[in-house]
Amino acid sequence: MNRIIIKLGAALSIFAALSFSVKKDTVDVAAHSAKLHQSIISMDTHTDTVMEMYRGKDVSKLQVNLDKMRKGGMDAVFFAAYVGQGRRDDSTLLAKTEYAKAMISNFKDYAQKHSDEIGIAYTASDVRKLKKAGKLIGIMAIENGYALGKDISNVQMFYDMGVRYITLSHNNNNDICDAAVTQDNPKRGFRKGPEWHGLSPFGVKVVEEMNRLGIIIDISHTSAETVQDCLEHSKAPIIASHSCCAAIKNHARNLTDQQIKDIAAAGGLIQVTTYHGFMADSEAKADIKCYCDHVEHVRDLVGVEHVGFGSDFDGGGGFNGCNDASEIQNITMELIRRGWSDRDIKLFWGENVLRVMGEVERVARNLR
């Protein structure tokens, strides 16, 4: 009996020691992550928050707000004015342009009212200055070039409003390019399949004008032919602001290994999104491990210099463990556990984006 008691006691001691070790590891990783986020610049390249704000949703209930950004250590967010695809007659196009302008103006007014907490950045240098000043950072963007209508001067107009990337399409084709996901819907003017087989003639002009001004070209949502045309015509790096890897989850919206290699070869970025439908076959399987598997797939293919974070929060993004801006450090902690260096985590969270912003700005200066 005494031997049994001694063995049981020894087993309990070992279990207690292991439990303490696991807890200590968790505490150490969390402390490491928190300290790291104080010094690095963390950036999210895609949210639909401004749409929800314009619709009047309670800001406290959004996945991205100032409190959640502070809590999570999220420094800078691209706030994309999302315009759903619709008919392409002149009156509808004009209305959609005005809608995008209204969303952007509404958010800029909000930022002005909270200027003690957040500033709008127009350049990579602005991002660094605002971070140094202790402020949160907003950068304006547009999701769906449909907002441009057929008027090339709208590219300049949106640039002047602060827009620094444009996602060329959403679901279904527009006057700029073909989309990755299309459907037949005559009432809305949709037709399944390619219309332009990549960029339209107008789309080529849009890409050239975005290069001239310094607006990043975003190919998330666009077709494979559009991606190739953008790589051919753009003089600056392009990005996928919120996409995942087709090798892990086969979806028309995700990028093939060859596309990832081509985008990286041109100096661009694949910003991995948190939308469960692009991550895994079921919502239950979309978790921190799955997310980081996508991140590491890109890293292993093309290097850590070409991958980052694009949540799609307030537009369908988020999964258990990273469901809003306050929880982003769960990703950092998983990367630390996987052996990522501080340097690589710094690149992932923001330095890669700042590099591309700087390069797009450099190309624009040379073209003017």
Query: What domains, with CATH codes, occur in the chain?
Result: 42-367 (3.20.20.140)
Q: According to the model, what pLDDT value does residue 20 have? A: 41
Pairing of strands 43-47, 307-309: unpaired
pLDDT at 108: 98
Provide the pLDDT for residue 53: 98
**Residue in the structure block whose two tokens are 């509808």:** 92
pTM for this structure?
0.93
Judge residue 228's burial from the number of C-beta atoms within 10 Å of its C-beta, 0-12 exposed, 13-18 middle, 19 or more buried. middle
pLDDT value of position 2: 52
Where does residue 268 fall: left (phi above 0), alpha (psi -120 to 50 degrees), or beta otherwise? Answer: beta
| Residue 154: its H or E element | helix 153-160
pLDDT tens digit at each of 368 positions of the chain: 555 555 555 544 444 443 444 454 777 999 999 999 999 999 999 999 999 999 999 999 999 999 999 999 999 999 999 999 999 999 999 999 999 999 999 999 999 999 999 999 999 999 999 999 999 999 999 999 999 999 999 999 999 999 999 999 999 999 999 999 999 998 888 999 999 999 999 999 999 999 999 999 999 999 999 999 999 999 999 999 999 999 999 999 999 999 999 999 999 999 999 999 999 999 999 999 999 999 999 999 999 999 999 999 999 999 999 999 999 999 999 999 999 999 999 999 999 999 999 999 999 999 98
* pLDDT the model gives residue 326: 98
Residue of 289, 251, 254 whose CA lies nearest to 272: 254
Give 308's contacts (C-beta < 8 A, 6+ positions apart). 43, 45, 269, 270, 271, 272, 348, 349, 350, 352, 353
